[in-house]
Amino acid sequence: MEPDPKRELLRHMLATVAFRCGIAIDNAPFGFEDFRVGGSARSPAEILAHLGDLIEGTRYLLQGQFVSLASKPHRWDDEIARFYTAIRELDSFLATDMPLAHPVEKFVQGPIGDALTHVGQIVMLRRIFGSPITQEPYFSIEIVPGVF
């Protein structure tokens, strides 16, 4: 069976989220995870926990289940591990030929688009914290689904 191009694009977008989030969280300085720019603003740890929820929730939605996740952040390293586990599990599901419960476009405009927004928030918080990320040639980098 030939791979579904839309499904493969969703896998590529997921790999892009993983790549960009990795840049945002790698080598984050001590204390960054709890940094807040304001009283009601999410900390990086809270944003990363939400990213884990988005990715886990996407896998459920693709299988036709709606699961509301609102995780409290754990230790930074545990949240990082949870995020990458959720990415791998979602990608593994997308790599199968199991039917999707909803059109791919809904995931691009919904949770995957949301995930990219939240990665951008972490990047911005890194700069405000005084530890900006290094510039990456996003257009020319080879991002491969399934390689995280």
Task: Determine the pLDDT at residue 93.
Answer: 97
Residues 46-60: pLDDT tens digits? 999 999 999 999 999
pLDDT at res. 94? 96
Mean pLDDT of 82-111: 96
Instruction: Specify the pLDDT at position 58.
Output: 96
Q: Which string of DSSP letters, residue by residue, matches the chain?
A: -PPPHHHHHHHHHHHHHHHHHHHHHTTPPTTGGG--SSTTSPPHHHHHHHHHHHHHHHHHHHTT------PPP--HHHHHHHHHHHHHHHHHHHTS-PPPSS-HHHHIIIIIHHHHHHHHHHHHHHHHHT-PPPP--TTTS---TT--
How much is the average pLDDT of 77-98?
96
Is the pLDDT at 1 greater than 80, yes or no?
no
The CATH number assigned to the domain with range 9-129 reads 1.20.120.450
Residue 131: pLDDT band with limits 50, 70, 90? very high
Of the pLDDT bands very low, low, confident and very high (cuts 50, 70, 90), residue 137 is confident
pLDDT at residue number 11: 97
Instruction: For the chain, give the mean pLDDT.
Output: 95
Q: Where residue 28 falls among pLDDT bands split at 50, 70, 90?
A: very high
pLDDT at 37 over 90: yes
Mean pLDDT across the stretch 14-33? 96
> How far does CA 75 lie from the centroid of its chain?
17
